[in-house]
Protein backbone atom coordinates (compact mmCIF):
# COMPACT_ATOMS: atom_id res chain seq x y z
CA UNK A 1 0.00 0.00 0.00
CA UNK A 2 1.56 3.31 -0.96
CA UNK A 3 -1.66 5.35 -1.24
CA UNK A 4 -4.39 5.83 1.33
CA UNK A 5 -7.24 7.53 -0.51
CA UNK A 6 -10.29 5.43 0.42
CA UNK A 7 -10.76 2.76 3.11
CA UNK A 8 -12.68 0.77 0.50
CA UNK A 9 -9.48 0.39 -1.54
CA UNK A 10 -8.21 -1.95 1.21
CA UNK A 11 -9.10 -5.58 1.77
CA UNK A 12 -10.04 -6.89 5.21
CA UNK A 13 -6.49 -8.06 5.96
CA UNK A 14 -5.04 -4.63 5.14
CA UNK A 15 -7.54 -2.85 7.42
CA UNK A 16 -6.87 -5.36 10.23
CA UNK A 17 -3.13 -4.80 9.76
CA UNK A 18 -3.48 -1.00 10.00
CA UNK A 19 -5.57 -1.32 13.16
CA UNK A 20 -3.02 -3.68 14.73
CA UNK A 21 -0.22 -1.31 13.74
CA UNK A 22 -2.16 1.61 15.27
CA UNK A 23 -2.45 -0.29 18.56
CA UNK A 24 1.28 -1.02 18.36
CA UNK A 25 2.23 2.66 17.92
CA UNK A 26 -0.23 3.68 20.62
CA UNK A 27 1.61 1.38 23.05
CA UNK A 28 5.04 2.52 21.83
CA UNK A 29 4.52 6.06 20.50
CA UNK A 30 8.09 7.38 20.13
CA UNK A 31 10.26 5.57 17.58
CA UNK A 32 12.70 6.40 14.80
CA UNK A 33 11.28 4.31 11.93
CA UNK A 34 10.84 7.39 9.73
CA UNK A 35 14.06 9.22 10.65
CA UNK A 36 15.09 11.49 7.80
CA UNK A 37 11.74 11.11 6.01
CA UNK A 38 9.59 14.13 5.15
CA UNK A 39 5.80 14.46 4.93
CA UNK A 40 4.33 17.27 2.80
CA UNK A 41 0.87 18.43 3.89
CA UNK A 42 -1.29 20.41 1.47
CA UNK A 43 -4.34 21.98 3.13
CA UNK A 44 -6.71 23.63 0.70
CA UNK A 45 -9.21 23.89 3.58
CA UNK A 46 -8.94 24.53 7.35
CA UNK A 47 -8.11 21.91 9.97
CA UNK A 48 -7.13 21.48 13.60
CA UNK A 49 -6.94 17.71 14.23
CA UNK A 50 -5.71 16.52 10.86
CA UNK A 51 -2.97 19.11 10.62
CA UNK A 52 -1.77 18.77 14.22
CA UNK A 53 -1.99 14.97 14.40
CA UNK A 54 -0.07 14.40 11.16
CA UNK A 55 2.69 16.80 12.17
CA UNK A 56 2.88 15.34 15.69
CA UNK A 57 2.76 11.78 14.36
CA UNK A 58 5.52 12.35 11.85
CA UNK A 59 7.72 13.93 14.54
CA UNK A 60 7.07 11.02 16.94
CA UNK A 61 8.20 8.63 14.21
CA UNK A 62 11.48 10.51 13.81
CA UNK A 63 10.54 12.35 10.61
CA UNK A 64 9.54 15.91 9.80
CA UNK A 65 6.84 17.69 7.85
CA UNK A 66 6.01 20.89 6.00
CA UNK A 67 2.61 22.50 5.46
CA UNK A 68 1.34 24.32 2.38
CA UNK A 69 -1.95 26.24 2.55
CA UNK A 70 -2.59 27.32 -1.05
CA UNK A 71 -3.80 30.90 -1.26
CA UNK A 72 -2.92 31.65 2.37
CA UNK A 73 0.79 32.36 2.50
CA UNK A 74 1.41 30.03 -0.48
CA UNK A 75 0.46 30.48 -4.13
CA UNK A 76 -3.14 29.59 -4.86
CA UNK A 77 -3.49 26.22 -6.65
CA UNK A 78 -5.61 25.64 -9.76
CA UNK A 79 -6.90 22.08 -10.13
CA UNK A 80 -9.02 22.22 -13.28
CA UNK A 81 -7.62 21.22 -16.63
CA UNK A 82 -7.66 23.46 -19.67
CA UNK A 83 -8.56 26.67 -17.85
CA UNK A 84 -7.16 30.11 -18.62
CA UNK A 85 -5.37 30.93 -15.39
CA UNK A 86 -6.20 34.62 -15.20
CA UNK A 87 -7.87 34.39 -11.76
CA UNK A 88 -6.50 34.20 -8.23
CA UNK A 89 -4.60 30.90 -8.54
CA UNK A 90 -0.98 31.45 -9.61
CA UNK A 91 0.13 27.81 -9.81
CA UNK A 92 -1.39 24.67 -11.33
CA UNK A 93 -1.29 21.39 -9.44
CA UNK A 94 0.30 19.86 -12.56
CA UNK A 95 3.48 21.76 -11.65
CA UNK A 96 2.97 22.31 -7.94
CA UNK A 97 2.28 18.75 -6.79
CA UNK A 98 5.27 17.11 -8.53
CA UNK A 99 7.46 19.89 -7.12
CA UNK A 100 6.22 19.20 -3.57
CA UNK A 101 6.50 15.43 -4.09
CA UNK A 102 10.14 16.02 -5.00
CA UNK A 103 10.76 17.53 -1.57
CA UNK A 104 8.81 14.91 0.39
CA UNK A 105 8.62 11.13 0.80
CA UNK A 106 4.83 11.26 1.13
CA UNK A 107 2.15 13.86 0.47
CA UNK A 108 -1.16 14.41 2.25
CA UNK A 109 -3.86 16.56 0.73
CA UNK A 110 -7.11 18.06 2.02
CA UNK A 111 -9.52 19.22 -0.70
CA UNK A 112 -13.18 19.69 0.27
CA UNK A 113 -16.17 19.61 -2.04
CA UNK A 114 -17.03 22.63 -4.17
CA UNK A 115 -20.63 22.31 -2.94
CA UNK A 116 -22.18 23.51 -6.19
CA UNK A 117 -22.88 20.37 -8.24
CA UNK A 118 -23.52 17.09 -6.47
CA UNK A 119 -22.58 14.82 -9.37
CA UNK A 120 -19.34 16.73 -9.82
CA UNK A 121 -18.42 16.47 -6.14
CA UNK A 122 -19.33 12.76 -6.04
CA UNK A 123 -16.73 12.20 -8.78
CA UNK A 124 -13.94 13.55 -6.51
CA UNK A 125 -12.60 15.95 -9.18
CA UNK A 126 -9.90 17.67 -7.10
CA UNK A 127 -8.53 14.56 -5.39
CA UNK A 128 -8.46 12.78 -8.75
CA UNK A 129 -6.66 15.69 -10.43
CA UNK A 130 -4.06 15.78 -7.65
CA UNK A 131 -3.63 12.00 -7.50
CA UNK A 132 -2.99 11.93 -11.25
CA UNK A 133 -0.03 14.32 -11.06
CA UNK A 134 1.47 13.40 -7.67
CA UNK A 135 4.09 10.68 -7.83
CA UNK A 136 4.65 8.44 -4.81
CA UNK A 137 2.76 7.94 -1.57
CA UNK A 138 -0.39 10.03 -1.20
CA UNK A 139 -2.84 10.31 1.72
CA UNK A 140 -6.38 11.69 1.59
CA UNK A 141 -6.78 14.18 4.46
CA UNK A 142 -10.50 14.67 3.57
CA UNK A 143 -11.82 15.07 0.09
CA UNK A 144 -15.19 15.93 -1.42
CA UNK A 145 -17.01 12.82 -0.21
CA UNK A 146 -14.47 10.87 1.82
CA UNK A 147 -12.42 11.07 5.00
CA UNK A 148 -10.59 7.74 5.33
CA UNK A 149 -8.31 8.86 8.18
CA UNK A 150 -11.36 9.76 10.26
CA UNK A 151 -13.07 6.50 9.28
CA UNK A 152 -10.07 4.41 10.37
CA UNK A 153 -9.82 6.30 13.68
CA UNK A 154 -13.54 5.74 14.23
CA UNK A 155 -13.15 2.01 13.53
CA UNK A 156 -10.37 1.84 16.15
CA UNK A 157 -12.57 3.78 18.57
CA UNK A 158 -15.39 1.26 18.15
CA UNK A 159 -12.90 -1.55 18.80
CA UNK A 160 -11.46 0.25 21.84
CA UNK A 161 -14.95 0.63 23.28
CA UNK A 162 -15.73 -3.07 22.68
CA UNK A 163 -18.70 -2.16 20.49
CA UNK A 164 -19.78 -5.49 18.96
CA UNK A 165 -18.78 -5.97 15.31
CA UNK A 166 -22.46 -6.68 14.57
CA UNK A 167 -23.74 -3.91 16.87
CA UNK A 168 -26.27 -1.22 16.00
CA UNK A 169 -24.75 2.00 14.61
CA UNK A 170 -26.94 5.05 14.04
CA UNK A 171 -25.58 7.83 11.84
CA UNK A 172 -27.77 10.79 12.65
CA UNK A 173 -28.10 14.06 10.84
CA UNK A 174 -27.92 17.07 13.18
CA UNK A 175 -28.73 20.72 12.64
CA UNK A 176 -25.92 23.15 11.81
CA UNK A 177 -26.12 26.77 10.76
CA UNK A 178 -23.98 26.09 7.68
CA UNK A 179 -24.37 23.69 4.77
CA UNK A 180 -21.68 21.09 5.46
CA UNK A 181 -20.01 18.53 3.17
CA UNK A 182 -20.90 14.86 2.78
CA UNK A 183 -17.38 13.52 3.42
CA UNK A 184 -17.62 12.49 7.07
CA UNK A 185 -21.14 11.01 6.94
CA UNK A 186 -20.24 9.05 3.80
CA UNK A 187 -17.01 7.75 5.35
CA UNK A 188 -18.59 6.89 8.73
CA UNK A 189 -21.52 5.14 7.08
CA UNK A 190 -19.33 2.94 4.88
CA UNK A 191 -16.86 2.24 7.68
CA UNK A 192 -19.60 0.98 10.02
CA UNK A 193 -21.16 -1.11 7.25
CA UNK A 194 -17.74 -2.55 6.36
CA UNK A 195 -17.17 -3.41 10.04
CA UNK A 196 -20.30 -5.58 9.86
CA UNK A 197 -22.64 -3.36 11.84
CA UNK A 198 -26.39 -2.88 11.49
CA UNK A 199 -26.36 0.72 10.31
CA UNK A 200 -29.29 3.11 10.28
CA UNK A 201 -29.10 6.56 8.73
CA UNK A 202 -31.44 8.78 10.75
CA UNK A 203 -32.28 11.99 8.92
CA UNK A 204 -35.18 14.36 8.25
CA UNK A 205 -36.98 14.21 4.92
CA UNK A 206 -34.90 15.93 2.25
CA UNK A 207 -31.59 14.92 3.83
CA UNK A 208 -31.30 11.35 2.55
CA UNK A 209 -27.73 10.68 1.46
CA UNK A 210 -27.17 10.37 -2.31
CA UNK A 211 -27.87 6.92 -3.82
CA UNK A 212 -24.20 6.54 -4.80
CA UNK A 213 -23.14 6.88 -1.15
CA UNK A 214 -25.90 4.57 0.11
CA UNK A 215 -25.00 1.96 -2.55
CA UNK A 216 -21.31 2.04 -1.62
CA UNK A 217 -22.27 1.42 2.01
CA UNK A 218 -24.71 -1.33 1.04
CA UNK A 219 -21.95 -3.05 -0.95
CA UNK A 220 -19.62 -2.82 2.05
CA UNK A 221 -22.35 -4.34 4.23
CA UNK A 222 -22.83 -7.07 1.66
CA UNK A 223 -19.18 -8.10 2.05
CA UNK A 224 -19.17 -7.95 5.84
CA UNK A 225 -22.60 -9.30 6.72
CA UNK A 226 -23.79 -5.91 7.99
CA UNK A 227 -26.83 -3.96 6.85
CA UNK A 228 -27.78 -0.40 5.89
CA UNK A 229 -31.18 1.25 6.34
CA UNK A 230 -32.51 4.79 6.60
CA UNK A 231 -35.40 6.40 8.42
CA UNK A 232 -36.68 9.69 9.80
CA UNK A 233 -38.17 7.92 12.85
CA UNK A 234 -35.82 8.71 15.75
CA UNK A 235 -37.33 6.32 18.28
CA UNK A 236 -37.21 3.40 15.85
CA UNK A 237 -33.63 4.20 14.79
CA UNK A 238 -32.32 4.39 18.33
CA UNK A 239 -34.00 1.23 19.62
CA UNK A 240 -31.12 -0.85 21.02
CA UNK A 241 -28.42 1.35 19.44
CA UNK A 242 -24.81 0.86 20.56
CA UNK A 243 -23.60 4.09 18.95
CA UNK A 244 -25.10 7.40 17.89
CA UNK A 245 -22.73 9.14 15.46
CA UNK A 246 -23.95 12.69 14.86
CA UNK A 247 -23.04 14.83 11.86
CA UNK A 248 -24.64 17.57 9.87
CA UNK A 249 -24.64 17.54 6.10
CA UNK A 250 -26.24 19.71 3.49
CA UNK A 251 -29.38 18.52 1.79
CA UNK A 252 -28.56 16.51 -1.34
CA UNK A 253 -32.07 17.40 -2.54
CA UNK A 254 -31.16 21.11 -2.66
CA UNK A 255 -27.42 20.78 -3.28
CA UNK A 256 -25.85 23.97 -4.58
CA UNK A 257 -29.02 26.05 -4.09
CA UNK A 258 -28.07 27.99 -0.95
CA UNK A 259 -31.47 29.56 -0.33
CA UNK A 260 -33.50 26.39 -0.87
CA UNK A 261 -31.03 24.33 1.17
CA UNK A 262 -31.06 26.81 4.03
CA UNK A 263 -34.87 26.95 4.06
CA UNK A 264 -34.97 23.16 4.29
CA UNK A 265 -32.30 22.98 7.00
CA UNK A 266 -33.80 25.73 9.16
CA UNK A 267 -36.93 23.62 9.65
CA UNK A 268 -34.89 21.19 11.73
CA UNK A 269 -33.20 23.31 14.39
CA UNK A 270 -34.55 20.85 16.95
CA UNK A 271 -32.20 18.14 15.63
CA UNK A 272 -29.69 18.87 18.39
CA UNK A 273 -28.66 15.65 20.16
CA UNK A 274 -29.74 15.68 23.80
CA UNK A 275 -29.74 13.11 26.58
CA UNK A 276 -33.45 12.55 25.92
CA UNK A 277 -32.52 11.01 22.53
CA UNK A 278 -31.00 8.02 24.33
CA UNK A 279 -33.77 7.22 26.82
CA UNK A 280 -34.91 4.61 27.37
CA UNK A 281 -33.97 2.27 24.54
CA UNK A 282 -30.34 3.37 23.94
CA UNK A 283 -29.33 4.33 27.46
CA UNK A 284 -25.86 2.77 27.16
CA UNK A 285 -25.13 4.05 23.65
CA UNK A 286 -21.88 5.87 22.94
CA UNK A 287 -21.95 9.32 21.35
CA UNK A 288 -19.50 9.94 18.51
CA UNK A 289 -18.67 13.02 16.45
CA UNK A 290 -15.60 13.76 14.32
CA UNK A 291 -15.15 17.33 15.68
CA UNK A 292 -15.18 20.27 15.39
CA UNK A 293 -18.68 20.45 16.85
CA UNK A 294 -20.91 23.40 17.72
CA UNK A 295 -22.08 23.00 21.31
CA UNK A 296 -25.83 23.27 21.90
CA UNK A 297 -26.42 23.47 18.17
CA UNK A 298 -25.38 19.97 17.06
CA UNK A 299 -25.25 18.36 20.53
CA UNK A 300 -26.05 19.47 24.08
CA UNK A 301 -23.29 20.10 26.61
CA UNK A 302 -24.70 17.29 28.77
CA UNK A 303 -24.03 14.68 26.07
CA UNK A 304 -20.67 16.04 24.96
CA UNK A 305 -19.37 16.36 28.53
CA UNK A 306 -20.98 13.17 29.79
CA UNK A 307 -19.74 9.58 30.06
CA UNK A 308 -21.19 8.42 26.74
CA UNK A 309 -19.09 10.87 24.74
CA UNK A 310 -16.25 9.25 22.75
CA UNK A 311 -15.16 12.38 20.90
CA UNK A 312 -11.79 12.78 22.64
CA UNK A 313 -10.94 9.13 22.06
CA UNK A 314 -11.86 9.55 18.38
CA UNK A 315 -9.56 12.56 18.09
CA UNK A 316 -6.72 10.78 19.93
CA UNK A 317 -7.08 7.81 17.63
CA UNK A 318 -6.49 10.06 14.63
CA UNK A 319 -2.87 10.25 15.80
CA UNK A 320 -2.42 6.50 16.22
CA UNK A 321 -4.06 5.35 12.99
CA UNK A 322 -2.35 8.02 10.90
CA UNK A 323 1.04 6.98 12.26
CA UNK A 324 0.13 3.46 11.14
CA UNK A 325 -0.79 4.80 7.68
CA UNK A 326 2.50 6.74 7.47
CA UNK A 327 4.52 3.67 8.44
CA UNK A 328 2.67 1.54 5.91
CA UNK A 329 2.92 3.91 2.92
CA UNK A 330 6.61 4.46 3.67
CA UNK A 331 7.41 0.75 3.86
CA UNK A 332 7.88 0.47 7.62
CA UNK A 333 4.58 -1.12 8.55
CA UNK A 334 5.73 -4.15 10.52
CA UNK A 335 3.84 -4.88 13.74
CA UNK A 336 6.31 -5.62 16.54
Report d(CA 236, CA 247) in Å as an integer.
Answer: 19
For position 49 contacting ligand CP by CB under 6 A, the verdict is yes
For position 291 contacting ligand CP by CB under 6 A, the verdict is yes
Q: Binding segment for ligand CP among 46-54, 98-106, 118-126, 196-204 (CB under 6 A)?
A: 46-54
For position 150 contacting ligand CP by CB under 6 A, the verdict is yes
Minimum distance of ligand CP from residue 87's CB (angstroms): 26
Minimum distance of ligand CP from residue 154's CB (angstroms): 10
Q: Binding segment for ligand CP among 42-50, 73-81, 210-218, 266-274 (CB under 6 A)?
A: 42-50
What is the three-state SS of the chain?
A: CCEECCHHHCCHHHHHHHHHHHHHHHHCCCCCCCCCCEEEEEECCCCCHHHHHHHHHHHHCCCEEEEECECCCECCEECCCCCCCCCCCCEEHHHHHHHHHHHCCEEEEECCCCCCCHHHHHCCHHHHHHHHHCCCCEEECCECCECHHHHHHHHHHHHHCCCCCCCEEEEEECCCCCCCCCHHHHHHHHHHHHHCCEEEEECCCCCCCCHHHHHHHHHHHHHHCCEEEEECCHHHHHCCCCEEEEECCCCHHHCCCHHHHHHHHHHHCCCCECHHHCCCCCCCCEEECCCCCCECCCECHHHHCCCCECHHHHHHHHHHHHHHHHHHHCCCCCCC
Nearest CB to ligand CP, comparing residues 172 and 196: 172
Minimum distance of ligand CP from residue 183's CB (angstroms): 9
# binding residues, ligand CP (CB under 6 A): 9
Instruction: Name which position in 6, 105, 142, 154 contacts ligand CP (CB under 6 A).
Output: 142
Query: Which of 91, 110, 107, 115 is CA-nearest to residue 46?
Result: 110
For position 231 contacting ligand CP by CB under 6 A, the verdict is no
Q: Where does residue 72 rank: exposed (0-12), middle (13-18), buried (19+ CB within 10 A)? A: exposed
Query: Which of 203, 145, 197 is CA-nearest to residue 171?
Result: 203
For position 48 contacting ligand CP by CB under 6 A, the verdict is yes
Q: Binding segment for ligand CP among 64-72, 84-92, 274-282, 288-296 (CB under 6 A)?
A: 288-296
For position 258 contacting ligand CP by CB under 6 A, the verdict is no
Instruction: Name which position in 6, 50, 140, 201 contacts ligand CP (CB under 6 A).
Output: 50
Q: Binding segment for ligand CP among 55-63, 85-93, 223-231, 290-298 (CB under 6 A)?
A: 290-298
Q: Binding segment for ligand CP among 84-92, 125-133, 199-207, 287-295 (CB under 6 A)?
A: 287-295
Q: Binding segment for ligand CP among 45-53, 60-68, 167-175, 258-266 (CB under 6 A)?
A: 45-53
Nearest CB to ligand CP, comparing residues 164 and 292: 292
For position 92 contacting ligand CP by CB under 6 A, the verdict is no
Instruction: Name which position in 15, 58, 290, 326 contacts ligand CP (CB under 6 A).
Output: 290
Nearest CB to ligand CP, comparing residues 17 and 247: 247
Nearest CB to ligand CP, comparing residues 60 and 150: 150
For position 83 contacting ligand CP by CB under 6 A, the verdict is no
Nearest CB to ligand CP, comparing residues 181 and 226: 181
Asked whether 112 and 179 are in contact (CB, 8 A), the reply is no
What residue ranges bind ligand CP (CB under 6 A)? 47-50, 142, 150, 290-292
Amino acid sequence: MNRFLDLEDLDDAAIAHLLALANDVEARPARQDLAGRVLGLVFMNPSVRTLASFQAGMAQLGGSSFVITPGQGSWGFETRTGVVMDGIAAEHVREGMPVLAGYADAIGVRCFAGGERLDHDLSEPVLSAIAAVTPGPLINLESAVNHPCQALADWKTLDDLDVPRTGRFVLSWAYHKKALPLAVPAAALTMAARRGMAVTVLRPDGFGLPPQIMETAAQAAGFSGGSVNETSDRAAALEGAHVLYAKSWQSPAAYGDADAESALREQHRDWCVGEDWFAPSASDAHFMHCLPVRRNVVVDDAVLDGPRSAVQRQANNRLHVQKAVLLEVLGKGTVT
